Amino acid sequence: MRELTELDDWAPPPVTPGEPTITLTPKAVEMGKKQLAEAGEPSLGLRIGVKGGGCSGYYYVYELAKKVRKRDKVWDFGGLRVVVDDRSLALLEGGTLDWEQRLMGYGFTWQNPNAKGDCGCGASFNV
């Protein structure tokens, strides 16, 4: 079965109708665009999601979107296409993705109202 949109189609994926159920700060949008540009390979946007594991039960993932599946949501945030699968969205809904620059590191961070606890570094969480 062929995916809804793949890289060989060379067309941006269609945007999901309605308002996004997650938020990205302007800094997160800026850095997402920068990371896609620096990747040096084609993509349909930034895929964000959640996978099982980490020290608290789930961890956040960020990667190049190589395809868009039928159950994915696609939103445009100021020219940055963001792809989220429906299972991850259930754990991210209502959350805000930001970008932090700290003395000891930098990266995406979530303000996730669905997280009941985290590991302290913000990379993993539990519900």
What are the structural domains of the chain? 19-116 (2.60.300.12)
Helix-strand-coil split of the chain, %, nearest 5: 20, 40, 40
pTM of the model: 0.84
d(CA 53, CA 82): 23
| Amino acid, single-letter form, for residue 30 | E
Q: Is the pLDDT of residue 4 over 80?
A: no
Residues 113, 13: Cα–Cα separation, whole Å: 28
Q: Which of 4, 2, 1, 22 is nearest to 65 (CA)?
A: 4
d(CA 127, CA 56): 9
What angle (nearest 5°) sits at the alpha carbon of residue 22, between those of residues 55 and 124? Answer: 5
Give the pLDDT score at 35: 93
Q: How many residues does the chain have?
A: 127
For residue 1, is pLDDT > 50? Answer: no
80 pLDDT more than 80:
yes
pLDDT band at 7 (very low <50, low <70, confident <90, very high): low
